């Protein structure tokens, strides 16, 4: 009899937790003036079948990396390790441009396919076949693609669904916000064990995100660490205790919805990103001048007029991104 009670309790409490999380999610959305019914959309493969792409009804463009350990299109029962090759970078670049030029897109969401990996970085088997000169241009192409992502005036969120190592972390660091899925996953830049450095933005971005001393320690040791440690050093912004991958997808979509029209001033968010992204690389006075120009642009926008009027009238603004 006691065993039966234990079994019922074991099956009951997970359902209660799921219900409680759903209620909290709905309450959170209600505070923002909306209840989003957006779900994970049907994703379609890009040209090389190494990236899946789709857009939600509320304007979140999803870029999903999908490949096996060799960097080839995923076939059969092979594990999605989501390693990249030159062909994947072409797909990523095309997806970024699709999202950039789509006026209905306010947010770009990067993630990996499957339960285990966001991305393990470059395919070592692929790199082993390349000449040093080709490898140089391979890294240059990756740098240019991630710079395009950073310079796109739409907020970019990396949903880290699994291990995020090597070039996978380099991709994630080009995002504006990084949200991880709770689990026994690893993060790191272990390239030194191959006799090379993290050459697609790793040394540059990690030192800017966590500071010189911590970045040096991580890269020269090549150690891998948990999402919890990554959060402690502000490399990861939050860790979601989602019970399944599908729930993680929905949780991240709900969070992304905070930055979409008509509930968020997408144009202002884009200008904030432009100021922060470009301003950090120039002297303070130039940054202040850039900030003033971007603010002047916003003062002339319909969204600013809408937002200020709504505040005065004590109403909830509905922005149009204009």
Give the active site residues: 170, 191
H-type alpha helices, 199-317: 202-210, 212-221, 227-232, 245-256, 266-279, 284-299, 302-312
DSSP class per residue in 97-112: HHHHH-TT--EEEEEE
Tell me which residue of 65, 69, 61, 68 sits closest to 50, measured CA to CA: 65
The pairing of beta strand 60-65 with beta strand 51-55 = antiparallel
- Per the structure block, which two tokens stand in for 63? 């870029």
CA 248 vs. chain centroid, Å, equals: 13
The answer to whether the CB of 78 falls within 8 A of the CB of 67 is: no
Q: Would you tell me how many other CB atoms lie within 10 Å of the CB of residue 312? A: 8
The answer to whether the CB of 33 falls within 8 A of the CB of 261 is: no
- Whole-angstrom Cα distance, residue 288 to residue 261? 28
């Amino acid at each position: 009899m006691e065993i039966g009670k234990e079994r019922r309790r074991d099956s009951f409490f997970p359902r209660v937790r799921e219900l409680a999380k759903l209620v909290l999610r709905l309450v959170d959305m209600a505070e923002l003036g909306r209840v989003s019914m957006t779900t994970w959309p049907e994703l379609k493969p890009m040209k090389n079948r190494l990236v899946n792409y789709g857009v939600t009804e509320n304007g979140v463009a999803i870029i999903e990396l999908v490949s096996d350990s060799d960097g080839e299109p995923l076939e059969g029962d092979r594990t999605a390790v989501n390693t990249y090759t030159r062909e994947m970078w072409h797909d990523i670049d095309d997806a970024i441009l699709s999202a950039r030029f789509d006026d209905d897109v306010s947010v770009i969401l990067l993630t990996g396919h499957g339960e285990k990996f966001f991305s393990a970085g470059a395919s070592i088997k692929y790199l082993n076949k390349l000449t040093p000169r080709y490898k140089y241009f391979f890294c240059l192409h990756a740098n240019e693609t991630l710079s395009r992502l950073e310079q796109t005036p739409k907020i970019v969120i990396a949903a880290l669904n699994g291990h995020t190592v090597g070039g996978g972390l380099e991709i994630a660091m080009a995002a504006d916000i990084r949200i991880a899925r709770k689990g026994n996953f690893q993060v790191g830049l272990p390239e030194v064990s191959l006799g090379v450095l993290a050459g697609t933005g790793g040394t540059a971005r990690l030192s800017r995100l966590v500071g010189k001393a911590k970045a040096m320690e991580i890269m020269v040791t090549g150690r891998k660490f948990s999402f919890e440690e990554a959060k402690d050093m502000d490399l990861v912004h939050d860790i979601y205790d989602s019970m399944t991958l599908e729930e993680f997808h929905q949780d991240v979509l709900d969070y992304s919805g905070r930055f979409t029209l008509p509930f968020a001033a997408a144009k202002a968010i884009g200008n904030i990103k432009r100021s922060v992204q470009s301003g950090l690389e120039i002297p303070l006075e130039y940054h202040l001048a850039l900030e003033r120009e971007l603010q002047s642009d916003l003062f002339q926008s319909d969204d600013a007029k809408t937002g200020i009027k709504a505040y005065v009238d004590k109403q909830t603004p509905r922005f149009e991104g204009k």
